[in-house]
């Protein structure tokens, strides 16, 4: 029997529309960083026109270790998210009812063309946010990160 879900002419059935990774330490399993690579999505409040990466700092107030979850996927582009403050207008903060707090930013996928870009726009800024240095993190990403409105335009 022919399975159209893997046929090259039907990519909507086999092409992933997002990938998610979450990283924590053994010492602090309720605090970590995560990334979503979102290729194609049209769900409720987001209809992206470009592939993008959502880079997240995540902290829970309960003792449940962090793992992949919908809250990380929706960070920054739903009604539960707000701009962190006027000074950091491309950073978003979401506080969820399950006591999970997420600070995130968006990068267009095409700026991550080499290891230096990944280190400068994802790794270093997320480490700075993890350590509480939001101003330093924003210096790394201010020129390249997008607003949620720019994702859909």
Handedness of CA 61, 64, 66, 67 (dihedral sign): negative
How much is the pTM? 0.83
- Mean pLDDT for 29-56 is 80
pLDDT score, position 46: 65
**Residues 72-94: tens digit of each pLDDT:** 878 888 777 888 888 999 999 99
State the residue range of the domain holding 37.
Answer: 4-151
**Residues 104-113: tens digit of each pLDDT:** 999 998 999 9
Domain count, the chain: 1
pLDDT score, position 44: 62
Does pLDDT of 3 surpass 70?
Answer: no
Distance CA 63, CA 40 (A): 33
Does pLDDT of 17 surpass 60?
Answer: no
Of the candidates 47, 71, 49, the one whose C-alpha atom is nearest the C-alpha of residue 60 is: 71
- Mean pLDDT for 55-75 is 84
Confidence of residue 43 (pLDDT cuts 50, 70, 90): low
């Amino acid at each position: 029997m022919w399975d159209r879900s893997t046929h090259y002419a039907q990519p909507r059935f086999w092409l992933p529309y997002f990938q998610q990774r979450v990283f924590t330490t053994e010492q602090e399993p309720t605090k970590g960083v995560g990334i979503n690579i979102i290729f194609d999505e049209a769900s409720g409040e987001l209809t992206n026109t470009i592939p993008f990466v959502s880079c997240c700092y995540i902290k829970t107030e309960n003792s449940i270790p962090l793992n992949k979850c919908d809250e990380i996927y929706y960070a920054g582009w739903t009604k539960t998210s707000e701009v962190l403050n006027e000074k950091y207008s491309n950073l978003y903060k979401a506080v969820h009812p399950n006591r999970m707090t997420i600070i995130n930013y968006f990068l267009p996928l095409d700026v991550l063309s080499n290891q230096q870009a990944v280190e400068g726009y994802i790794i270093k800024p997320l480490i700075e946010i993890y350590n509480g240095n939001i101003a330093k993190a924003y210096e790394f990403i201010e020129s390249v990160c997008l607003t949620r409105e720019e994702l859909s335009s």
